[in-house]
Chain A
Amino acid sequence: MWQVTPAGDQALLVTVGRTIDPSLLGQVLALDKVLADRRPSGLISTVPAYASLLCHYDPEVTDAARLEASILQLEGHVDAAMALGSVVDVPTRYDGPDLPRVALETNLTPAAVIEMHAGREYLVYCVGFAPGFTYCGALPEQLSMPRLASPRLRVSAGSIGIAGRQTGIYAVESPGGWNLIGRTALRLFDPAADPPARFKPGDRLRFIPTS
């Protein structure tokens, strides 16, 4: 069941589920596309993430009740199958400051951590938090780690971290609480590019170890 709740007086949040699941992301992206095609009156912009879609609207043109109705009538009528594009390679130097500790706490050798992290395809679930930050899943269960108890004040752009069942790439320098295992030279955010972020939800990527 989709749930539509107000996010203040100029946005609605559509929640399609409560877990991290490719099929829920599929519904979110499908809804996003249908709304972009149909442009219900007053809808300004949308923000997809995992299992929800935020819909900003102009309260001078529409209201929450009207927009909610036009969204809810789409439930069950969107094609949640994701269009699978090609898999993007992310060249990665596995020299992150937390790699030795991750290895220790997962009872693996650093080489085995690298092999496990690099050995699969990931789905991009969300670009958010900071410009271009790319959230991907699912990380193998065995690599699941809690976030740092005390976040770093400064994580450099290109850093690759893991937290829970997710792996993520910091696109700009920012504070951060993920366990850093590597970094990439790939530029993930460029305000002069169109679009400014390298990845979008629904993209697939894999990490390629480099030395």
Chain B
Amino acid sequence: MIELLDAGRWTTVQDRGRPGLERYGIPPGGAADWFAAAVANRIVGNPPDAALLECTAAGPTLRFDAGAVVALTGGYSAGAPTWQMLRIAGGSSLALGTIAPGLRTYIAVRGGIDVPLVLGSRSFCQRGTFGGGFGRPVQRSDRLAVGRLGDHEPLAAPWPESHRLPARGPWEVRVIPGPQLDAFAEDALQRLTATACRVTPEIDRMGLRLATPGLRLQPREIVTVPMTAGAIQVIPSGGLIVLHVDHQSTGGYPVIATVISADLPLLAQARPGDTVRFRSVEQDEAARAHHRLTGWLELDP
């Protein structure tokens, strides 16, 4: 068992989420930085769908009843080395401390965090207040069971820096235009990609609100449509909301462009005040970017 001596700012159990249930209003969820989470599981030898802890801004302090093999990835932690296997002795504790650069650190434990599956996933769903073991973020004194997953040997060497994503901004984020590009003036996308957007403090797993200094796009109204993670909604009063993994399943603001799946991890690590620049790309570049990351995951460093 793992006991939470301190829960950190916002620590939740996540896995790969529950995509495919959006028709019931359920967000896909899962780790916001899917790449870092996949690497963490890879390092400890877990299968890719093992549940882990997602920590935000300030990490938790964990006490391990029994010895454990652990890996931290994603945002860098003040209290422990990241992107490498750690052996934790039984009875000892691990304090992550402040997370920076980056915003979210993943803690994978060999065996996986064992909480009950809800609708096919162990992920905490904030909108529905279910999953994640407790139907809420973890709290001090919670105890988490460790599962029996772990089908590969842990990686002895640290995960190579060449196979990590940037940890700090400014962020260049690639987008595919649309799906509601035709709700905007012809030059709107060009004006958007020429704008240095600023991450506001209003960020969570549902989405990030970005300020767009000097840019005001005025789209026509649309009938409510289904939404995806990465959808860049243009808000009539100004600014953007970029939806993330716990996004609303439908929405009424037109989407000018959609962040490619390979760059969603960058937005999971962006912090308030960071600059985001969007760059429009074609499908083949998006596919190459995705292959690059999945290829890294298959590598044997």
A residues sitting closer than 8 Å to B (CB atoms) are 5-11, 13, 15, 18-20, 44-54, 56, 59, 63-64, 126-133, 135, 171-174, 189, 191-192, 195-197, 200
Contacts and interface: CB of A to CB of B under 8 A. Distances in A.
Contacts of A46: 23
B260 A189 contact: no
A135 B75 CA distance: 39
A131 B24 CA distance: 6
A172 B250 contact: no
B247 to A, nearest CB: 10
Given A127-B25, A172-B128, A191-B130, A47 B226 contact: yes
Interface in B118-149: 118-119, 125, 127-131
Contacts of B21: 196
Contacts of A173: 129
B7 to A, nearest CB: 22
17 contacts: A6-B178, A7-B178, A7-B226, A7-B228, A7-B258, A8-B258, A9-B290, A10-B261, A20-B223, A47-B249, A49-B225, A64-B283, A131-B25, A189-B25, A189-B128, A196-B21, A196-B119
B226 A13 contact: yes
A135 B25 CA distance: 11
B176 A9 contact: yes
Contacts of B24: 127, 131-132, 189, 195-197
Contact of A9 (B227, B255, B260): B260
A11 B228 contact: yes
Given A8-B286, A48-B23, 6 more contacts: A6-B178, A7-B226, A10-B261, A13-B225, A19-B223, A44-B20
Contacts of A126: 224, 250
Contacts of B255: 7
Contacts of B129: 172-173
Given A133-B25, A196-B26, A200-B23, A9 B223 contact: no
Interface-central residue, A8, A10, A45, by most chain B CB under 10 Å? A8
B46 interface: no
Nearest to A129: B248
Contacts of B180: 5
B228 A172 contact: no
B179 A128 contact: no
B222 interface: yes
B181 interface: yes
Nearest to B118: A191
A194 B119 CA distance: 9
Given A15-B225, A44-B20, A196-B21, A131 B128 contact: yes
A64 B179 CA distance: 13
Nearest to B255: A7
B115 to A, nearest CB: 14
CB-based closest 10 A-B pairs = A128-B250, A54-B226, A9-B286, A8-B258, A45-B20, A47-B226, A5-B179, A197-B24, A13-B179, A131-B128
